Amino acid sequence: MARSSGTGVVRTVLQFCLSTLPFFAVLGYLLYRAIERGNGFEDNGEEIVAMFSLMDITKVFLSFHVTWTVFAVYLLIFVPKRRYLLDRYLREGEKTSGDVIVEKKKGLRCVTSRQYGYAIYSHPTKTEPPVVIRKQVRVYQPYTRERVEILRLPNRPLSGQAKIDIEIDLSKMRTERETTLCYISAVAIFWVLLTVAGACFCVYQMDTIPEQYLLVDENVELARKIIFLVVGINPFFAFVVNGIRYLMYYNWMVHRGSSIKDEEVARNIKTTNWCGYNVDAEASFDGSDQIPYSILGEDRSYAGTIHSHNNRSVITKPEDTPGKQSELTVTSVEDDGTKLKALPWTNV
C-alpha cells in the first residue's frame, strides 16, 4: 500500500481535531463559568447567580477524562496488539484454499463503513466425513472471491482469514502508525491532561469561594476525594475495558466459526436480520450476485452483477498417488492409413 502523503496526514489529523471542537467549546464555556464564580467574589464580595454548580462541572470534566483515557489506551495498547495478531497470520499461518462470500449490506447496515463476509474452507482435521468451516470475516475487497488463499493459525482450525484481506488491513495499520497514529495519540493525551486539570481547577475555585456562598452540593473535601478516586482507578479501568474489547476481537478472529458437514448448507448465506430489516427473498444462494462489474469504463458504466461460475467444492481431496499409470490414446497417421495406439502416461 502506498505511503500516505504529507497533505493526507495533515488533513486526517486536522479533521480529527475539528471533530473535537464541539466538546472543547462546551468544556471551555463551563471553565469560563467556573472562573466567573471566583472573580465575582473578588470584585464586590457578593454572591452572583450560579448557572452551574462547580461540583457538577467537576463531574463533567472527570467524565470526559475517563472517556479520553479509554481512547488513549486503545490507541497505545489495543491497536499494537491487534497489529501483532495480524502479523502472526502472515508469519505462522497455515495455508489452505477457500472461498470468500461477501455479505450484503442492506437497510441500516449500509451506513456502516465496515464490510463483512464469510470464509468457507475445509476443516484441516475432520476429513472422515469431510467437514467445511464457515466463518464471518472482515473483508477489504467487497466482492465474492473463489479459490483464494486462506490462512489459519496453528492448531486453530476456526481462525481462517483471507490472506489478501489480512495484508490490506495490516498495511493500513502500518501506514497509520507511521503517519497519523502518533499525532492522534498526542491529541488524546492532551485531552486526558486538559480534563483532569479542569476538574482540579473547579475544586480550587470551590476552595477559594467563602463557604457561605457555596451551593448546597458544592463540597470541597468530597470533590477532592472524587478526583483522587477517579484519577487513581481510571488507568486500571481503561486497561480493563480495552482488554475486554481485545479478548472479544481475539475470540472472534480465532475461535468463532461453524463446522458444517453439508457444504451446500454452508454456502447458503442468509441476509442478516439487522434492526428488523430482512431481505432473504432477494439473496442469492451463495451471495455471488453481489460481484460488481463494469463494461463501459469509469465515465460510462453499466453497473451490474454476475453469478458465480465455479461450483467446485472447497473440501481438500487426497492427491493422486504418484506414479499411477493411466492410458493416453493418440492417433498416428502412417502410410497404410490411420492407426490407433494406446501409450502409457504417468501422472506427475
d(CA 231, CA 45): 34
What pLDDT is recorded for position 314?
Answer: 74
DSSP bridge partners of 291: 306
Burial class (CB in 10 A: 0-12, 13-18, 19+), 322: exposed
Local structure of residue 211 (DSSP, 8 states):
G
d(CA 171, CA 168): 5
d(CA 146, CA 225): 61
Total-model pTM: 0.72
d(CA 270, CA 278): 9
Using DSSP's 3-state secondary structure scheme, residue 158 falls into coil
DSSP H/E element including 145: strand 145-152
Which residue blocks in 128-272 are alpha helix, DSSP H?
163-178, 180-208, 220-254, 263-267
How many residues are given for the chain? 348
- Residue in the structure block whose three cell numbers are 442469492: 284
Q: Residue by residue, what is the 3-state secondary structure of 250-303? A: HHHHHCCCEEECCHHHHHCCCCCCECCECCHHHCCCCCHHHEEECCCCCCCCCC
d(CA 16, CA 141): 26
Burial class (CB in 10 A: 0-12, 13-18, 19+), 199: buried
* Torsions phi, psi for 86 (to 5 deg): -65, -40
Q: Locate the domains of the chain by residue range.
A: 6-87+174-254, 93-169+257-306
What pLDDT is recorded for position 5?
Answer: 59
- From first to last of its 348 residues, the chain has per-residue pLDDT tens of 445 556 778 888 888 889 999 999 999 999 998 888 777 655 554 455 567 888 999 999 999 999 999 999 999 999 999 999 999 999 998 999 999 988 776 655 555 678 888 999 998 888 788 889 999 999 988 788 888 999 999 999 999 999 999 999 998 888 888 788 889 999 999 999 999 999 999 999 988 888 877 778 888 899 999 999 999 999 999 999 999 999 999 999 999 988 888 888 878 776 554 444 444 444 444 444 444 443 344 333 333 333 444 556 777 665 543 444 444 444 445 555 555 444 444 444
What pLDDT is recorded for position 295?
Answer: 39
The answer to whether 27 and 64 are in contact (CB under 8 A) is yes
